[in-house]
Structure 1
Amino acid sequence: MKLTLFDLDHTVLNGDSDVLWCDFLVEKGLLGRTEFTARNADMAARYKAGTVGLKEFADFYVGTLAGRTVQQWEPLRQEFLADWIVPRITPAAVALVDKHLEAGDLVVMTTATNRFITELTAIYFDIEHLIATEPEMRGDLFTGSTTGVLNMREGKVERLHAWLTARGLRFKDCKSTAYSDSINDLPLLEAVKHPVMVNADATLAAIGSERGWPALQLH
């Protein structure tokens, strides 16, 4: 089994879904520009540096969904995909994903961003399988918190193992490849047989260079 894992933000997407979502909500007048933009920039910078607490990070962004239902958010989610996400997906990123899909790989998008705002992106890439941070729901209402193991750092490996086990597969039996830009994904890249850096941040690039990992630029 060829297992191919794609990180989303800054890997196959030229941008960060969480940050873009917040910018989108600010533009729509649903978040206060002055206060939230500063908090958003701080959170993004600390995540890139690997210094933010995982629960704090995840709940900060999932909190933007609080108090509304899936149905209430859906038109905005569709607008966000069309106007903010698709224009930031390059032909090179689509071609790379298509290459693995056409080869018959088991292709999975694995992202720290919550499922609700990333599942349409996975569909756009024709990726059937998405492992993402899960927003907590009360009925059809978003509570503003996350639930379960966060799909971040070591959590990506834990969630992947659980996902494979549920499908009767074992990670060690897979010919695994992972694409990512971020030092936050070092545990995942170290776990797979074929790690590939994409648009790598400085810290990951330094480590990957020492280890001889291949590097790509998709945007």
Structure 2
Amino acid sequence: MANLALFDLDHTLIPTDSDHEWGRFMVKLGIVDAENFARENDRFYADYKAGKLDIHAYLVAMLTPLAKYSREQLKAWHDQYMHEVIKPAIIPAAMELVRKHRDAGDLCCVVTATNEFITAPIAEAFGVEKLIACEVETVDGHPASAYTGFPKGTPSYREGKIVRTEEWLASLGKTWSDFERSYFYSDSHNDIPLLEKVTDPIATNPDDTLRAHAQKHGWRILELFQPT
């Protein structure tokens, strides 16, 4: 029987926050107001780390600039972002972690609160075909259409990660009980709800709150980004 392997992304598989870094990248490109956007980007990031993020407001703030540009232009910018920011940050240990589960035949999925525009190419870089991320609305609902600048559906944030994961499993005709073991790797205390659902929660590069929770409950702690 294949097991289930779920991975958070930011500060779990990559040692940075792809959402926050994309915001900084938009400032660098000059496609947002540098001072105001940078301030708001930092504020939202601080709210996330504090566990008090207004996920809808954050998604609107991050997605609104996308509506001003064509898919072709956005792809070109994202390719540049991957080349300059993300790929240099991907370390072999993280790639090997994912590869280990893939080689074992486990059902793998990246489950992230960052939106799908930013994260789809990153999940692809890790060789993970299934991505659960905050969904981005398009003009007429077609996947190739221009973005409206708004999110859609249930945000994959905190308890929303459970909702979205269970919807995905149901679409495959599966539930948690169909897997002998289920793994979830995450760095964030915001992911404690989903960590508590799996048989094998792994606090990966954990923040202080998650580290304390993991130690209290005897969860495995994995440090991928320690200097060698």
Alignment TM class, shorter chain as reference: over 0.9
Residue 58 of structure 1: aligned partner: 59
Give the whole-Å Cα distance in 1 for the aligned partners of 2:128 and 2:93: 16
Matched, 1:128 2:129: yes
CA drift at 1:103: 0.9
What pairs with 1:20-31 in structure 2 (closer than 5 Å)? 20-31=21-32
**Partners of 1:46 and 1:123 in 2: CA distance:** 28
Distance 2:158 2:109 in 1: 16
Q: Give 2:149's aligned residue.
A: 144
Spell out the pairing of 1:86-125 with structure 2 (5 A cutoff): 86-125=87-126
Q: Which one of the candidate residues 159, 163, 186 is aligned to 1:180?
A: 186
1:164 corresponds to 2:173: no
In the other structure, the counterpart of 2:49 is: 48
Q: 2:209 aligns with which of 203, 207, 212?
A: 203
Q: Which residue type is aligned with residue 111 of structure 2? A: T
| Percent identity (aligned) | 40
User: By how many angstroms is 1:67 displaced?
Assistant: 2.3
Distance in 2 of aligned mates of 1:179 and 1:5: 6
Q: CA contact under 8 A between 1:47 and 1:57: conserved in structure 2? A: no
**SS in structure 2 of the partner of residue 93 of structure 1:** helix
Name the Cα RMSD after superposition: 1.1
Distance 2:53 2:129 in 1: 30
5+ unaligned residues in a row in structure 2: which ranges? none
Rounded Cα–Cα distance in structure 1 between residues aligned with 2:65 and 2:52? 22
| SS of alignment partner, residue 66 of structure 1 | helix
Post-superposition shift, 1:141?
1.6
**May I ask how many residue pairs the two structures share in their alignment?**
219
* Deviation by residue 1:111-133 (Cα, 9 ceiling, x = unmatched): 11111111111111111111111
Tell me, in whole angstroms, the C-alpha distance in 1 between the residues paired with 2:220 and 2:192. 14
Provide the secondary structure at the position in 1 that maps to 2:47. helix
1:36 CA drift (Å)? 1.2
Aligned mates of 2:177, 2:59 — CA distance in 1: 29
Query: What TM-score comes out, normalization by structure 2 length?
Result: 0.93
Q: CA deviation at 1:170?
A: 1.3
Post-superposition shift, 1:189? 0.2
Distance 1:64 1:92 in 2: 34
Q: CA deviation at 1:168?
A: 1.2
- Gaps of at least 5 residues in structure 1 are none
For 1:212 and 1:69, how far apart are their aligned partners in 2?
49
In the aligned structure 2, how far is the partner of 1:171 from the partner of 1:125? Answer: 24
What is the CA deviation profile of residues 71-126 of structure 1, one whole-angstrom value per residue up to 9, with x for unaligned ones?
23111111111111111111111111111111111110111111111111111111
TM-score of the two chains, using structure 1 as the length reference = 0.97
